Amino acid sequence: MPWFNIRKPGAKPNEDEITQPASEPTPEPQARTLPLHMQRIVENRSRPQREVSVEARRAAFERKRLAIEFDIAQGELASDEENPWNHRIELLTEALDTVREDQEALKEVPKEPYAPVPPIPVTDISVDKTDAIAVAFTIAGHGFRYEEVLDWAERGHTVASPELRVVACPVAEIIPDSIPAELREPLTRHLTDSIAVFATDLRDRALDDEPMPEGVTLADLARECPACGGWADWHGRCEACTRRKGQAQALRMEQNRLLQERANEAEERHRLAERLPLARRRLRDLEADIAAFEQQHGT
């Protein structure tokens, strides 16, 4: 059966029927705890300071006077025409002149020795990509072969080294008889490196599914460098030019270092001379403080 509210509209409920919740006591605010480092600061401030003895204060005055007198001596030395900073600046300037002379001399280096190499064809180019990659070709009837060295990794996987290992490289056999005796050894070193670069390029072309170069000759592996006149490799790089660029870079770095050191010496000299009047004024103020202190505490 439905329940109907029979109370009259607007009638207030009986106060006895209303259940008042039990009042709870209001919690008192808790004091905020300071962090440990702040507690130490407050303790140090509240702790009574020990009175500094007269002798300790006199010693502190003396240390401060010695420091200011040193600044004055440095400022007077820097203001003098003959000073260590000017001497060091002169030495650094001489070193800079030597570096500039070396830079000019490097520009005037004579061309590297060079002898043309006949265009002997490079034939029988092959790249085997099964397991370890092997690169082979023939120059003047002599076979050249390079292979990647396989290494065993975990779980039985093989890892191929990116460097090619020389299996056959009879460079001395392909040096033409027309090459002068004094150039045979330098040319042998160059061709050894250039042929290795050529073999690496063949390997990379095969991995990228690019066509193999055609019409390659021995002259392409020892072309004349347009910059220094020596031999350039298959990619046109020249060992002599690389060495000269390294020397030029080292000279530029040395020049920048010397310039920075010279600027630092000049800046320090100017700073000390500029602070000399301030140091003298600080010394006068300190002498007045010392005199007042001695008058108060006696000598």
Contact 148, 165 (CB under 8 A): yes
Contact 265, 84 (CB under 8 A): no
Least-confidence region, from 35-49, 117-131, 136-150, 253-267: 35-49
- Reading phi first (left if > 0) and then psi (alpha if -120 to 50, else beta), residue 131 is in left
pLDDT at 298: 67
Backbone angles phi, psi at 122, to 5 degrees: -100, 115
Q: Which residues of 22-42 are buried (b: 16+ CB within 10 A; e: fewer)?
A: eeeeeeeeeeeeeeeeeeeee
Backbone angles phi, psi at 82, to 5 degrees: -95, 105
Say if strands 142-152 and 158-168 run parallel, antiparallel, or are unpaired: antiparallel
Across 177-199, average pLDDT: 93
Sheet of strand 122-128: strand arrangement: 122-128, 134-139, 142-152, 158-168
Contact 123, 149 (CB under 8 A): no
pLDDT at 171: 93
Q: Which residue has the higher pLDDT, 251 or 8?
A: 251
Backbone angles phi, psi at 156, to 5 degrees: 80, 5
Which tens digit of pLDDT belongs to each residue from 96-130? 999 999 999 998 888 888 899 999 999 999 999 88
Least Cα distance to 236 among 183, 192, 185, 197 occurs for 197
| C-alpha 212 chain-centroid distance | 40
Which tens digit of pLDDT belongs to each residue from 32-57? 677 887 777 777 777 665 666 888 88
pTM here?
0.64
pLDDT at 53: 84
Q: Which residue has the higher pLDDT, 276 or 41?
A: 276
What residues are paired with 151 via a beta bridge? 159
Distances 229 to 18, 191, 235 between C-alpha atoms, Å: 112, 16, 16
State the Cα–Cα distance between residues 179 and 57, nearest whole angstrom: 88
Across 85-90, average pLDDT: 96
pLDDT at 132: 79
Least Cα distance to 139 among 209, 206, 194 occurs for 194
pLDDT at 39: 75
State the Cα–Cα distance between residues 262 and 254, nearest whole angstrom: 12
Q: Sign (positive/negative) of CA torsion 171, 177, 178, 182?
A: positive
Give 88's pLDDT tier (boundaries 50, 70, 90). very high
Match 């023939």 to its residue by tokens. 138
Distances 281 to 5, 65, 289, 291 between C-alpha atoms, Å: 98, 12, 13, 15
Where helices occur in the chain by DSSP H, the ranges are 36-46, 54-79, 84-107, 171-174, 181-207, 239-274, 276-297
Across 2-22, average pLDDT: 49
Query: Tokens at residue 3, please?
Result: 């329940």
Give 18's pLDDT tier (boundaries 50, 70, 90). very low
Across 162-183, average pLDDT: 90
Average pLDDT taken over every residue of the chain: 85
End-to-end CA distance of the chain: 112
Q: Is 190 exposed, middle or buried (0-12, 13-18, 19+ CB in 10 A)?
A: buried
Q: Which residue has the higher pLDDT, 159 or 79?
A: 79
Using DSSP's 3-state secondary structure scheme, residue 232 falls into: strand
pLDDT at 50: 62
Least-confidence region, from 36-40, 98-102, 150-154, 262-266: 150-154
Query: Tokens at residue 108, please?
Result: 């005037």
Which tens digit of pLDDT belongs to each residue from 224-234? 998 888 999 99
